[in-house]
Amino acid sequence: MSSDWDCLNCAQRGDETAWCYLVEQYSPPLIKMTLLMTGSMSIAQDLVQETFVRLLRHRSKHREGSFKAYLSTIAYRLALKEKKRSQRNLSLESQTLTDPTPSPLKSVLLKERDDYIANAIHALDEHHRDILILRFYGNHSYDDIARMTNLPIGTVKSRIFYAVKACRKTLQEKGIFDNETPG
């Protein structure tokens, strides 16, 4: 298949292989993104499932731009609605954000690091947290984030800068990164 848009067309016509490819390719990053936004693995999984249901059912004529950004926008907006609906702030301590395939020791170290980072991100105010999650866990460009959030690109860049600065300070205070970290 030539693109993920073509793959979506095939999936919408009933091609299970195309559908499986899209789900396998995009579920893990979407789950990470929605987990960090909502604080709950079960809600994140539900939101990603709803994202794919909407993707399959909605015959969008919009086929311009990045498929990943289009899909992430759906998940992002669903996560925002869920946050507004639930208004709860769950602990991320019991959630795993690491890849399950590394060695046991590396897995423990990665989980500990990821937990500190996730908690630092989760401590940010909503406006900075969401933009940071889209950039670093959603791997979206500044332009994509600006379009997804309906914010000026300068605001997106500023929020990412200050969010990274606040997270770095929090992690340095906990001894995760030394004070000599560049940037």
pLDDT string in tens for the chain (183-residue length): 458 888 888 888 888 888 889 889 999 999 988 888 888 888 889 999 999 888 888 776 666 778 888 888 889 889 888 887 876 444 554 555 555 566 677 677 677 777 888 888 888 998 899 898 888 888 888 998 998 899 999 999 999 999 999 988 988 887 776 655 444
pTM strictly above 0.75 = no
**Radius of gyration from C-alpha coordinates of the chain:** 17
The pLDDT of residue 92 is: 52
- Calculate the alpha carbon distances from 80 to 63, 74, 77, 117 in Å: 24, 10, 5, 21
DSSP state for residue 16 in the 8-state scheme: H
- State how far the Cα of 11 lies from the Cα of 31, in Å rounded to an integer: 21
How crowded is residue 148: how many other Cβ atoms within 10 Å of its Cβ?
22
- Structural domains of the chain in order of their starting residue, each with its CATH number: 1-90 (1.10.1740.10), 93-183 (1.10.10.10)
